[in-house]
Chains A and B, each alone.
Chain A
């Protein structure tokens, strides 16, 4: 064989090696379906701007993991004969542990995991969601809630969706109680809370649950208005609420401290979420750590959002995502949102009646959290019947109460089902 033939043979072998190690050979057909879904989500994030800050990294993580599944590979240990290793490395001994198997010495050579394996540890260990809550707390003004504490009740009523969906999921008989609890928390309309609960109760469902939760959060302006209109009369929707009283700085500072103490003592499982939410808020309201507060609101929040988004998206591989369970999760998630909205609005009607018509029931729908989108929906639906009505600040009360309410509900689910 001459040099030319050897080079040609080497070229063919190299091409064969590239081809056999490529995704075209190694990937499952389901990966390609997931790639199409990821592209559709990217379209919704970029073109339709549906929660793009989250949907874009989630969709790209989904795309990447289905193109190259090895990106989530666990670290492993490769066994190699010491003699083979030394022959391949110019007789230089390796610095690895040696084990004796069948009378032969082997090096235990560690192999690094894929990039997303390491980034995913923040999800798996429940680190990212509380950090996201820190940023949310630093961005949230609890003033409307402090000015009108009755809003807390609307935030509680809107959690109805979580508990009714749990019953629905159990009734399907294809989910374990832990899986049903993770699906039900979608009704809290709070992405980090859904991820936190699922990472503890049913980590294998993280992909479909996160995608369903964030997709429905993005669709709040489409899902909520028909339910709000169906459950209220025009007269109720036109109610103009009294202006909120001003809230002092001392009240705003005391609020996160009191909430943390009370909820953490009562529901320790909710402490990581509520504690970080309130720490962020205390940093904001105290006014003495503006640099840290700014970092929590901006840089930290953005970094964690990237890590959380891509790694959660990366859990949606074809074999995990394309199952009957996912269809069940998608349907139940929608029901959870619907029940939550209905619960808030119906309780708002009740409060309207008891207050002598002073409360507009539309603000009840904002109790599902999804800050500030759900509050904006209350404002928009209210203005359709009464253009001079400004419900936004009134709806922000139940909206932020919903964040606390869903964290409490999460604590209850974890306590009971873990």
Chain B
């Protein structure tokens, strides 16, 4: 096991200052190195992901500008408020992006025989098998 304290001092002042200087410098150095590493790979991954996203979107944008089509308005079941429609559209967009998926209709799900909590419990316990 490494022992930094090669000086083997009995002087409490020297020991205290050694701990203060060594401690602060080492903690800062380790965390600065981590900062640099994370910043480096974070930027790299973020740029790669952005580039991929752009190349994926370009053909879609091109196709869209070439043949403008009127977006079909989804058929929404009566009684569903506009906010819910907007939330569903946002969820679909966050999952599929602009990859061509479109909402055709929105209707209430039929009531399941089990409650949503019950179903979630069953899914949680049976999914791995």
- Which A residues fall within an 8 A CB radius of B? 145-147, 149-150, 152-153, 155-157, 159-160, 162-164, 166-167, 170-171, 173, 177, 181, 245, 247-248, 250-251, 254-255, 258-259, 262-263, 266-269, 291, 401, 404-405, 408-409, 412-413, 415-418
Q: Are B45 and A160 in contact (CB under 8 A)?
A: no
Q: Are A150 and B23 in contact (CB under 8 A)?
A: no
Residues of A within 8 A of B36 (CB): 149
Known: A149-B35, A159-B24, A254-B41. A167 touches B16 (CB 8 A): yes
Known: A155-B31, A263-B30, A408-B26. A416 touches B42 (CB 8 A): no
Q: Does B118 contact A (CB under 8 A)?
A: no
Q: Does B120 contact A (CB under 8 A)?
A: no
Q: Does B33 contact A (CB under 8 A)?
A: yes
Q: Are B31 and A408 in contact (CB under 8 A)?
A: yes
Work out how many contacts link A and B, with CB atoms closer than 8 A. Answer: 121
Residues of B within 8 A of A404 (CB): 31, 34
Q: Mark B1-41, 1 if CB is under 8 A from A, else 0.
A: 11111000000110111111011101110111111111101
* Nearest 10 CB-CB pairings of A with B: A152-B31, A167-B16, A149-B38, A156-B31, A149-B35, A163-B23, A163-B20, A152-B35, A170-B12, A170-B16
Please tell me the number of chain B residues within 8 Å of chain A, measured between CB atoms.
35
Q: How far is the CA of A250 from the CA of B128 in the complex (A)?
A: 23
Most chain A CB inside 10 Å of its own CB: which residue of B13, B19, B27, B37: B27
Q: How far is the CA of A254 from the CA of B5 in the complex (A)?
A: 34
Q: How far is the CA of A167 from the CA of B49 in the complex (A)?
A: 48
Q: Are B31 and A405 in contact (CB under 8 A)?
A: yes
Q: How far is the CA of A128 from the CA of B5 in the complex (A)?
A: 28
Known: A166-B16, A412-B23. A251 touches B41 (CB 8 A): yes
> Do most interface residues of chain A lie in helix, strand or loop, or is the interface mixed?
helix
Residues of B within 8 A of A412 (CB): 4, 19, 22-23, 26-27
12 contacts across the A-B interface (CB closer than 8 A): A146-B38, A152-B35, A156-B28, A163-B24, A166-B20, A166-B23, A254-B45, A262-B34, A262-B37, A263-B34, A404-B31, A416-B18
Q: How far is the CA of A165 from the CA of B4 in the complex (A)?
A: 20
Give 16 A-B pairs besides A149-B36, A171-B16, A248-B45 with Cβ atoms closer than 8 angstroms.
A146-B38, A159-B27, A166-B16, A173-B12, A248-B49, A251-B38, A251-B41, A258-B38, A258-B41, A262-B37, A269-B1, A291-B128, A405-B31, A417-B19, A418-B1, A418-B3
Q: Are A267 and B1 in contact (CB under 8 A)?
A: no
Most chain B CB inside 10 Å of its own CB: which residue of A251, A263, A405, A413: A251
Q: Are B34 and A416 in contact (CB under 8 A)?
A: no
Q: How far is the CA of A269 from the CA of B18 in the complex (A)?
A: 18
Q: How far is the CA of A258 from the CA of B31 in the complex (A)?
A: 12
Q: How far is the CA of A269 from the CA of B23 in the complex (A)?
A: 14
Please give me the residue from chain B that is nearest to A261 by CB atom.
Answer: B37
Residues of A within 8 A of B38 (CB): 145-146, 149, 152, 251, 255, 258
